[in-house]
Every structure is written in C-alpha cells, then in structure tokens.
Homo-oligomer: A and B are copies of this chain.
Amino acid sequence: MDATATIELHSAASGASECCSLGVGPIGADEAQRSAGMFKALADPMRLRLLSHVAAQGCEAVCACDLTEDLGISQSTVSHHMKKLVDTGLLAREQRGKWAHYTVVPEAFAALRGLLEIG
C-alpha cells in the first residue's frame, strides 16, 4: 500500500482513543459529542454491511467496485456511505487509479470497544 497522502486518517479516530470508557466516570460534553459522532457513523444498516465487507478482508484493501457488486447498490451510494466512515476514522481510503480502496483502522475500533467497557 502506498502510505502517502492518499490515505486519510482523520482526527475523530485519535479523538476517540483519548477517551476512557463509559464505566470509568461521567464523560463531559466534548467527549460525548465526539463519541456520538463515531456511533452515528455506525447507526446505519447499509454502512454496517459495507463496513463488515471491508472488515472481513482483515488488513487487505477492498475496492469500491467490489462493494457495489456485492451489495447491489450504486457507486454514488457506496461513496456517500464510505465518506462518512472515512471521516470518522473507522476506515482509511486510498485511491488506486480509477477506484477508491478501503481498509479498516483497527485503532478506531479498539477505541470504540474501550468506550463500551463498563467496568
């Protein structure tokens, strides 16, 4: 993978990793806002299905072209949903010629799992 500027890692992921967990103590307004944004990205059935398709490939990048085929949805619908997942830092995006390719960002998932630790 060409680990240059084409890979987008957004601040939301690192923001979530700064958080502790819901079980440690009451969280503040800023932390709640940031974490709610991460969960909002997951609060859509089609985004979860897209995410599971990418996550199932482990560290391998998945082409947007395969997602349209597998899920029977248009390229613009894939792009719309994937942008939200990239913006929140759950996925990384890399452009390879005509097609965008996506991989999971394990740190972002670990941060969310940590947030859901309740003691």
Q: How many copies does the complex hold?
A: 2
Q: How many residues of A contact B (CB 8 A)?
A: 39
Determine whether A42 belongs to the interface, using a CB cutoff of 8 Å to chain B.
yes
Determine whether A70 belongs to the interface, using a CB cutoff of 8 Å to chain B.
yes
**Chain B proximity mask over A24-57: 1 for CB below 8 Å, otherwise 0:** 1111110011011101101111111101110110
Closest to A114 in B: B113
Interface residues of A (CB under 8 A from B): 22-29, 32-33, 35-37, 39-40, 42-49, 51-53, 55-56, 58, 70, 104, 106, 109, 112-113, 116-119
- Could you give 9 example pairs across A and B, Cβ below 8 Å? A22-B51, A22-B52, A26-B56, A29-B45, A32-B48, A36-B44, A36-B45, A55-B119, A112-B116
